[in-house]
Chains A and B, each alone.
Chain A
Amino acid sequence: MKTFRERVDEVDHELVRLLNERAQLVQEMGSYKQEAGIPLFDPRREEEILSKVAEENPGPIFDSSMRDIFELIMHRIRDIEIQRSEFSDQ
């Protein structure tokens, strides 16, 4: 049991690192978008990402659940972007 838990902790640690790496990339892209006057919301691109993760998903997580997870990740990271853009000019 102890070994299982240790391995789960390791995976979580890596997930946290990777999620922040993704957020960092999105932030950089957000700055670019803001300078270029491009809206933050791009539903076509979001659908591409969601389709791709479902396509690449080997399971056992259901494709639909993987889409839900990524949708939440994208929304929460986008929230950071909206808030950052609000404070960047103050």
Chain B
Amino acid sequence: MDISASTTSSSGVKTEVKTNNGMIQPNSFRVVAGPCTVESYEQFEASAKAVKEAGFSYIRGGAFKPRTSPYSFQGLGEEGLGILSEVASEYGLEVVTEVMDPKDIEKVMEHAKVIQIGARNMQNFALLKHIGEAIAGTDHGAVLKRGLSATVEEWLQAAEYITSEGGDNVVLCERGIRTFENATRFTLDLSAVIVAKRLTDLPVIVDPSHAAGRRDLVVPLSKASVAAEADGLIIESHHEPENALCDGEQALPAEALHGLKGILEPFATAMGRGVI
């Protein structure tokens, strides 16, 4: 079903939200949560339960993981995809997961509604074009993360590689950029969220977990993202962050995830939106 909705940003520039999969909806602030990686059925099920109980309907989780070191845990691959879709369907959740290789796109689309393109692949133009072709005319979408050192313009050009192949359903994701600051892992560039929304009609979400690299900043940055006109969040959560195989230090534990909706609601209401 094609749902086309239009909202008006505070700039007065009309924002045409094109979405076939309902991930981004008018007057709503979408929260996607879940673990960095699918580690096992039990782990992902516990995370899915926490996401559901927190009142959210989209779960994230990596089956294919881009790791800086080739010796780090690389994800469960196809086995992980199976766990993702099985658990998600059990809990009535939609799946967002990353693809790194064009050969995996079709398989991933069988298990997930939304394909994520990671920051390190933002300028992997062959991958972007393949994804654009694959999602064209389907109810699948793509989340394009901003590269670690990419300008807003480079980010938008990368999105154009997907849309020019017919893949209209693209959501941009600001996830922090490299700066001299080392108090946080990256620096969340909220001005880029606003600029990207003024220049294009694509929705923009924020990943405060990867930007900060530490869980104590996730909630304040999430509040700021609502105020910065973002259309949603993608955050990391884990039922036992201290035992997570990757990025445990930035994952929200279940109890924090549970309170997130209530914390964000007053901010979203002030922006004329509801948290979903």
Interface string of A28-44 (1 = CB under 8 A from B): 00000010010111011
Task: Answer whether A85 and B12 are a contact pair too, CB < 8 Å, given A39-B201, A41-B200.
Answer: yes
A60-80 CB contacts (< 8 Å) to partner B: 75, 78
**Residue pair A40, B13 in contact (C-beta under 8 Å):** yes
B223 at the interface (CB under 8 A from A): no
**B229 shortest CB reach to chain A, Å:** 11
Q: How far is the CA of A82 from the CA of B191 in the complex (A)?
A: 12
**Residue pair B12, A40 in contact (C-beta under 8 Å):** no
**Residue pair B11, A86 in contact (C-beta under 8 Å):** yes
> From DSSP, what is the main secondary structure of chain A's interface residues?
helix
Query: Which chain B residues lie closer than 8 Å to A39 at the CB level?
Result: 13, 199-201
Q: How far is the CA of A86 from the CA of B9 in the complex (A)?
A: 9
Interface string of B236-276 (1 = CB under 8 A from A): 00000000000000000000000000000000000000000
Q: How many residues of B contact A (CB 8 A)?
A: 16
Query: Which chain B residues lie closer than 8 Å to A3 at the CB level?
Result: none
B68 at the interface (CB under 8 A from A): no
B160 at the interface (CB under 8 A from A): yes
Interface string of A5-16 (1 = CB under 8 A from B): 000000000000
Task: Answer whether A89 and B12 are a contact pair too, CB < 8 Å, given A41-B156, A43-B157, A75-B153.
Answer: yes
Q: Which of A39, A82, A85 has the most CB of B within 10 A?
A: A39
Task: Answer whether A40 and B198 are a contact pair too, CB < 8 Å, given A75-B153, A88-B12.
Answer: yes
Q: How far is the CA of A89 from the CA of B8 in the complex (A)?
A: 11
Query: Which chain A residues lie closer than 8 Å to B160 at the CB level?
Result: 43-44
B133 at the interface (CB under 8 A from A): no
Task: Answer whether A34 and B153 are a contact pair too, CB < 8 Å, given A39-B199, A39-B200, A43-B160.
Answer: no
User: Closest B-chain residue to A47, C-beta based?
Assistant: B157
**Residue pair A85, B11 in contact (C-beta under 8 Å):** yes
Query: Which chain B residues lie closer than 8 Å to A86 at the CB level?
Result: 10-12, 198
Task: Answer whether A40 and B6 are a contact pair too, CB < 8 Å, given A34-B13, A75-B153, A82-B11.
Answer: no
18 A-B contact pairs sorted by A residue (CB < 8 Å): A34-B12, A34-B13, A34-B14, A37-B16, A39-B199, A39-B201, A40-B199, A41-B156, A41-B200, A43-B156, A82-B198, A82-B199, A85-B12, A85-B13, A85-B198, A86-B10, A89-B10, A89-B12
Not counting A41-B199, A75-B153, A78-B199, a sample of 14 additional A-B residue pairs whose C-beta atoms are within 8 angstroms of each other reads A34-B14, A37-B16, A37-B201, A40-B198, A41-B200, A43-B156, A43-B157, A82-B198, A85-B12, A85-B13, A85-B198, A86-B10, A88-B12, A89-B10
